[in-house]
Amino acid sequence: MPGQHTEYAFETAIEYHLTEVSKGYKTGNRESFALDRAIFPADCWRSSRKCDRRNGTI
């Protein structure tokens, strides 16, 4: 049906804008995403370690 949008098309457009146009995000590995916590655990730990190093606690 012309003019009808799908959820997939909407998500693809948003992801494209965030990763390619604004360059503010990276596409993550879907397999490593923790649905129950809605995070990429490895990215959180990596970010946490960087903050600790900057604060001199590690």
The answer as to whether 14 is a domain residue is yes
Read off the pTM: 0.49
Asked if residue 2 is part of any domain, the answer here is no
Would residue 24 count as lying in a domain?
Answer: yes
Longest Cα separation, the chain: 58
Q: Residue 19: how many CB atoms within 10 A of its CB?
A: 13
| Dihedral over alpha carbons 9, 26, 41, 14 (to 10 degrees) | -20
pLDDT digits (tens, 9 = 90+) for 2-54: 566 789 999 999 999 999 998 888 888 888 888 898 888 887 766 666 665 55
33 within a domain of the structure (yes/no): yes
pLDDT score at 27: 84
The whole-number pLDDT of residue 26 equals: 83
Is there a domain that residue 39 lies in?
Answer: yes
User: What pLDDT does residue 29 have?
Assistant: 83
Q: What is the pLDDT of residue 14?
A: 93
**Is 31 domain-assigned?**
yes
What integer pLDDT is reported at residue 22 of this predicted model?
A: 86
Q: How many structural domains is the chain composed of?
A: 1
Q: How is 13-51 classified by DSSP, letter by letter?
A: HHHHIIIIIS-------GGG-BTTTTB-HHHHHHHHHHH
Range of the domain at 15: 7-55
- With respect to residue 22, please indicate whether it lies within any of the assigned structural domains: yes
